[in-house]
Amino acid sequence: MTTTTTTTAGGIQAVKPTVSSHLRDYWARVRGGDLGSLPAVLGLLVLFLIFSTARTDTFLSALNFANLFNQGAQVTFIAMGLVFVLLLGEIDLSAGYASGVCGAVMAILLTNKGMEWYVAIPAAMITGIIIGFSIGLLVAKLGIPSFVVTLAAFLGFQGVLLTMLGGGKNVSITDEFVRALNNDNLSVLWSWIFTIAAVVGYAVVQLNRYRRRTSRKLITDPLGIVLLRIGGLAVLLIAATLVLTQERAINPAINSLKGVPIVVPIIAVALVVWTFVLGRTTYGRHVYAVGGNSEAARRAGIPVDRIRISVFVIGSFMASIGGILIVSRASSVDPNTGGSNILLYSVGAAVIGGTSLFGGKGKVVNAVIGGAVIAVIDNGMGLMGFSSGQKYIFTGLVLLAAASVDALARRRAASTGNR
């Protein structure tokens, strides 16, 4: 084992990382309580193995695999927004019904007012932004705990949704564009173009970063790890695309079903955009700072109140997209759209994926991984013939396990000086 010492970044001595030392560092961080998405990824693998052995024919079918994305889309979108809220140590209990209200705004504009999708969809998104801004204002400026504000909003929006739908009527939509969003698939050609673009894009970003940092003599992850990451993503995406481009219709003669669901690139775009915002912009840095130590952030001149309002805006905006997608999926909106377990599943998705409930720690990708865990549990247990009651109990236990992992990791981190 050779270690090369290098002098970087203005004379600070550092050990140049090798592949094995990188892995050892990673393992040390995990032992020190910095788990990230690891438990969720492992959990996802285990669940996948269990369900695919128990229900090889149904769970492992291409049809069901595609369904997972469509079913999980709403929860995943709400969870991505909630990551921002949770990063500040706040909570948004109203996100579920906010998504329902936004979905209803779209459906009513489309069906009852006869408007086009390019009016109705932005209207739903703006509704989400207004909802988030109001909640954020109450939390940041009046200082009401977000738990209480959003609990009130949770009840309120439930009523708003009922009233909008005239006391419980069901509004259907027929707009082809909106229905396609969470029902249709990309053509096989576009599926592959999308997959290859994603892999190449990731590779370019990673390699460019490696090249830039090496040329400036800054410490980088070893090239082996960078290539491993790119390779891993490529294998994963290509395998998934191979499955999804198979014919999966029960009767292909009537209605051919193949290609990556359209919702997948929508999720991917949201994931990339928000990951960029959190990781590469001043705004994202300030969100982490306020979540980590709001007093330090205030002294550093960061507008803490504005950051606090903005995360609720992002939260409700993402909830509105979740609402649009669920209305698209069901082709209708009813008083329970965004109700029942949607909110709890979304919070669960963010937390299971590794976002800390204590603020300051989390990534947008956590929401996607957590959303996948939730979708797999819901779908897999359904296929195995478990009742709804049993599914809720199991999902509750998984959420509890994730929250315990979060709390234990924090204690572990505190005891290893890794606060």
Partner 1 sequence: MAATPLLELRGIDKSFGPVQVLHDVGLNVYPGEVTALVGDNGAGKSTLVKCISGIYTIDSGTVTFDGKEVAIHSPRDASALGIEVVYQDLALCDNLDIVQNMFLGREKKSGIVLDEDTMEEMAGETLRSLSVRTVKSLRQLVSSLSGGQRQTVAIAKAVLWNSRIVILDEPTAALGVAQTAQVLELVRRLADNGLGVVLISHNMNDVFAVSDRIAALYLGRMAAQVKASDVTHSQVVELITGGRSGNLGLPPEKPSDFVDITPGDAQ
Footprint of partner 1 (CB under 8 A): 8-14, 32, 212-213, 216, 218-219, 280-282, 285-286, 288-289, 291-293, 295-297, 299-302, 360-361, 413, 417-419
CB 283 within 8 A of CB 94: no
Task: Report the relative pairing of strands 12-16 and 4-8 from DSSP bridges.
Answer: antiparallel
- In the complex, minimum distance from the CB of residue 418 to partner 1, in angstroms, rounded to a whole number: 5
Beta carbon nearer to partner 1, 288 or 345: 288
Q: Whose Cβ is closer to partner 1: residue 400's or residue 414's?
A: 414
- Backbone dihedral angles phi then psi of residue 305, each to the nearest 5 degrees: -65, -40
Distance CA(129)–CA(102), nearest Å, equals 10
| Shorter beta-carbon distance to partner 1: residue 195 or 356 | 356
Rounded to a whole number of angstroms, the minimum distance from the CB of residue 219 to partner 1 is 6
Quote the least distance from Cβ 360 to partner 1, whole Å.
4
Smaller CB distance to partner 1: residue 147 or 358? 358
Q: Is 234 left (phi over 0), alpha (psi -120 to 50) or beta?
A: alpha
Is 332 in a helix, a strand, or coil? strand
Nearest distance, CB of residue 93 and partner 1, angstroms = 24
How far are the Cα atoms of 92, 288, 289, 342, 354 from residue 88, in angstroms, in the given order? 11, 7, 9, 22, 15
DSSP per residue, 125-163? HHHHHHHHHHHHHHHHTS---HHHHHHHHHHHHHHHHHH
Rounded CA-CA distance 94/103 in Å is: 14
Q: Which residues contact 205 (CB under 8 A, 6 or more apart)?
A: none
Q: How far is the CB of 402 from partner 1 (least distance, A)?
A: 19
Q: How far is the CB of 11 from partner 1 (least distance, A)?
A: 4
Token pair 């190449």 is at which residue? 200
Closest to 341 measured CA to CA, from 387, 373, 370, 374: 374
Q: Which among 337, 300, 335 is positioned nearest to 319, based on CA atoms?
A: 337
Nearer of residues 230 and 289 to partner 1, judged by Cβ: 289
Closer by beta carbon to partner 1, 303 or else 382: 303
Question: For partner 1, which is the closer residue by CB, 111 or 418?
Answer: 418
Report, in Å, the least distance between residue 414 CB and partner 1.
9
Measure the N-to-C terminal CA separation of the chain; round to a whole number of Å: 31
Least distance to partner 1 from the beta carbon of 202, Å? Answer: 17
Structure tokens at 47: 């669940």
- Residue 219 or 233: which CB sits closer to partner 1? 219
Residue 268 C-beta: closest distance to partner 1, Å: 20
Classified as helix, coil or strand, 220 is coil
- 373 closest CA partner among 8, 90, 70, 39: 39
- Residue number with CB closer to partner 1 (113 or 216): 216
Residues 236 and 370: their CA atoms lie apart, in Å, by 17
